[in-house]
Structure 1
Amino acid sequence: MAKKSDTDAVAVVDGVEVLGPATPRLRIPLRSADDVRRELARLYRQMKSKEISAADGTKLAYVLNLLRQAIETGELETRIAALESQAQTLKGGK
């Protein structure tokens, strides 16, 4: 059986339930730790105002925190590589 929400139109074609067109995906910038921080703040406000359940919000916050850690790790790797490259250049120039 096809899953139906309040906004989905369900049609029956040859005895098979078919959902209507998909809703467009929400694009939220999550490229930096600051982007993730803003999304966590938005999520907190939604949980506080009961727009989203605490259980669902907690799960989303956990995933956002993992994403923030991955972003920070990538940024640190980039910075360390730049420092190592700079140090190698200085050693070679002496």
Structure 2
Amino acid sequence: MYICPTIGEDHEKDFLVMGSLDDFKIIVFSNLDEYERGFEYLELADYEPTEVSDELFMELAKNDDAFSGLILDIHSKNKIITKEELLI
């Protein structure tokens, strides 16, 4: 389970991403405390924390060629979790 900054409502939520349209990574946080620190670090506005399951990212890795992975706790660890690691 990850905490993701999202904008929008219900099924129309958009994730915070880095990269380009054909090669992007989604920014995620390991827990709500890390989300709060990252929110300040990134100077975000209008985004809300949303819990997202591993399964959603696994499906995205299988079905979206442009999705290349996750960036975990960008303000501290800045760990890249590749698409391939999500499919293991």
Same fold (TM over 0.5): no
For the pair shown, the structure with the greater C-alpha radius of gyration is 1
Q: Which has the higher contact order (CA 8 A, sep 6+)?
A: 2
The structure richer in helix per residue is 1
Q: Place the TM-score, normalised by the shorter chain, in its bin.
A: under 0.3
TM-score (norm 2): 0.26
